[in-house]
Structure 1
Amino acid sequence: MLKTRIITALILAPIAIGGIFFLPPLGFALFTGAIITLGAWEWANLSGLEGQAGRVVYALVTAAVLYGLLNVPAVAVLWLALVWWVVGFLLVRSYPGGAARWGSIPARAVMGLLVLVPAWVGLNHLRTGGFQFGDSTNNLLVILYVFCVVWVADIGAYFAGRAFGKAKLAPRVSPGKSWAGVWGGLVAVGVFAVVISVLASADTVETLLLVLASLVTGLVSVVGDLLESMLKRFRGIKDSSQLLPGHGGIMDRIDSLTAAIPVFALAITQLGWLATGHW
C-alpha cells in the first residue's frame, strides 16, 4: 500500500504543480474545472447515484454550472459558500440527527454543488484577482498559501491529536479526530501566518488580519473534511472512489480545500487584498 501511495504521488505531483502554477488563467480554469468535474463524478456516488450513467450526467451538469458562472461575480458565490459552510457545520454537529432531511439523493446532489462549485470559483478568483499583501503581489503565492494553511492545519492536528487527543471532536462522524487536534492545527496555522507576514514585510495590522483570516480558514477546513466523512458514513463507503490508487478518490484529497478556498478568498477580498480579476 505504501509503495502504491508513493508511486501515485510521484505521478500526480508534477501534473498538479504544472496545472496550478504554470498555466495561464484560462488553462488554469480548465485544469481546475476538470478536477472539480471528477470530484463531482465521485460526489454522485456519495449522493446515492450508483450507476455510471447517473454519475456521468451529474458530473456534466456540474461542469455546465461552472461554465455558466464564468460571468457571475465571484464574491456573490463566495458569500453563498460561507453560508453553506455554516449550514454544513450544523449538519455535522447534529449527525445522525437531521439526516432524514438531507439524506435524499436530490438533497445530497445539491450539497455536492454547494461544496464543489464555490471551491472552483474561489480558486479562480484567487488566480485572476489583483492581490496585494505586504510587499507581495504574486497571485500564485496566495494560492500556495491557502493550500499550505490546510496542510499545516492537518500536520498540527495530527501531532497534537496523537499527543493529547482524548476528547473526541465528532465521534459519530470521524472517530479519529479530537479537539486537541483542532487546537493544535490552529496553533500551527497561527504561527505559519505570522512567519509569512514577516517574510512579506507586512505591518502589524496586516499580520493580525492575516492570522485571523488564516485561523478561520483552518477551522472551516475541518468542517470540509468532516462533511465528506459524514456523507461517506451515511453512504456506507470508506473512500469517495479509487481514482488515486493508495489515496482513495479526489474528494478524499480535496475535501478540506473545498471549504478553505472560498472562505479564504472571500476573507482577503473583503479585507481589500484581492480585487476582482478577469479571465
Structure 2
Amino acid sequence: MAAHIETGALVITMAGRWSVGQAYALQRAFERCAAHRPPYVAVDCTRIVPDGLVPALLPALVVLGESCRRGITVLVCAPASTLTGLLRRLPTTRIRFYPRLTEALSRVRPYHLPGPSRRVHRRFTPSPGAVGTARRLVRECCERWRLDGVTDNAQLVVSELMANAVEHAGTDIDLTICHHRQHLRIAVADRHHAVPAIDHKGADDGDADPRQEIALRGRGLALVARSVANWGVLRGTDGKVIWAALAAPRATRLRLSDLALLSGSGYPA
C-alpha cells in the first residue's frame, strides 16, 4: 500500500496470478486503507493474470462493497473485461473503472470531501505561520465535534508534525483531520521522500530505508508517540504521509449553547 500525496488516495498494487490468497490479501489491504479514512482507494490490477478469476474474486467483492459503504470511493484499474464485468455488478456507485492507474489518479478531485463529514483538509505552504494556523484548525475541529478531552494533545501532535514538515520537507503540506469510530486522526503529507526514524511498537513504517532517515526537531515524534494511540508513516511515489490517531470519544455532556437551544425550542431548560 502506498500514498498518492497530491490526491489523498491510497494505492493497492496487485500482481501475479489471481488466487484466493490474493483476494484475501486485497481484503487485508482494504482494511488497512479504511483505517486511514482516505477519500479514494485505487486498486491497480493491471499486472494481474486473470486465471481462475471468478472464485478468487468472491471475498474481494465483499470487501469492495464494505469499503464503499464506509464512504470511500474505489478506483479499479484493470484492462481485463472479465474483471470489470464482475465488479460492475456490485450495488454501488462508488466504484469507478479506468484502464491505467495514472488515468485514474488524474481524474479525481484532490482530497474530495463527500457530503457532511467529520473530516477537514487544508493545504499549506512551508512557512512558519503554518504551524499556528494548523493548531487553530485542530482546536476548531475538536470544539465543533465536541472532543473536549483530546484538544491539548491534538494541538501538540499537529504542532510537531507540521513543524517537522516545514523544517525538513520544505514543500507544500497537506493536513487532514478526521473523527471516526472514537479516534481523531491527524495526517500530515509532504512531497519529500525522506522518512523519520520510527522507534514505536505500534508504528507502521513500511519499508523505511535507514539511509533516508531524517533528524527530528526537538522532542519530535518521540513526544507524539507518547501522546497518541497509534501512529506511523505511509510512503508514496510523490512523498509521504505521517499520521497519528488519538482516542477521542465524543463528549456527552450538554454545553451552555445546547441549553440555550433547548430553551428556545419549547423544551424545559
Report the TM-score, using the length of structure 2 for normalisation.
Answer: 0.23
By relative contact order (CA 8 Å, sep 6+), the higher-ranking structure is 1
Higher strand share: 2
Judging by fraction of residues, say which structure has more helix. 1
Bigger Cα Rg:
2
TM-score by length of 1: 0.22
